Amino acid sequence: MKLRGTASALVVVEGTDLHHDLIGAALALQEIVTEAGLPTARAMGLDRFTEPLPATADADVYVLYRSSTVFAPAQQEALSALVAAGKGLVVLHASNLFGYGPGGLEADAAAHRLIGSRYLSHGAHGSEGRFLVRVTAEHQVTRYLADFAIDDEFYLLEYADDVHVLAVRDTPEGGTEPVLYAREHGAGRVCYSALGHDPRAWGNPGFRQLVRQAVLWAAGTGEESYANLATRWPLGNGRHLGPEQPGPRQPGATTAPGSEGTA
């Protein structure tokens, strides 16, 4: 029996801390999602989806931060079934490392279908740097989000045809690479962002607002409360990203690198 009357979230981290600070990510993401107004717990490991305890079963949306090439098929199928039945799922950064463990991509088929993409490489221009995240589509995840600059890793993705790309970065070759998309999975909602490598990203005002809005959308939060919850703490301290109070994003509005606002 669900005890809460409001939507709630569970941040789940899994893998090794060799390349990603899982403990730091869990703490930062719990804080960010709590800022969105959702009671938020944090947890380690993916067996909780195959044998869901109340904290897992009661959550309306899962925020997944993985750093591993191993994802047991039973765990994949269990998470996929929970989302198909109506749970929300927000997937961040390296959580789509599929096809690199024993059994190759076939072993990760259920999670690959659920999330809709997989990491390919950092590309040929180094592993990280500063780049502009450009919002390219009107959606509840991006409605109150302006373009913003971030220091983060470069990801090249292979992604499914049915994903709704919401934001991109420009590549040195003159093209674009998705950094944010949304999709549906059965009765559930899935949002993936390639952003979120380390504290430089977790503390970025644009990233924090992006995650808040993604979680609220995935949880099925109503539009009336969504605007208030999504924009309440753009900088985590009550200040806003620019001189104006936040409102619906105007088509074509951009923020130059380095001009996101000051704390």
pLDDT in tens, 51-102: 888 889 999 999 999 999 999 999 999 999 999 999 999 999 999 999 999 8
Which residues make beta-bridge pairs with 176? 170
Global pTM value:
0.86
By C-alpha distance, which of 64, 62, 97 is closest to 82? 62
- Could you give the CA distance from residue 246 to residue 231 in angstroms, rounded to a whole number? 7
Which residue in 17, 160, 44 sits closest to 96, CA to CA?
160
Residue with tokens 């930062």: 28
Residues forming beta bridges with residue 10, ordered by sequence position: 41, 62
Q: What percent of the chain has pLDDT over 70?
A: 83
List alpha helices for the chain, DSSP H. Answer: 22-35, 47-50, 54-58, 73-84, 104-107, 109-115, 199-202, 205-218, 223-231
Looking at residue 237, its pLDDT comes to: 45
* β-strand partners of 62: 10, 89
- Write out the two tokens for 50: 């195959």
Which tens digits make up the pLDDT trace of 165-219? 999 999 999 999 999 999 999 999 999 999 999 999 999 999 999 999 999 999 9
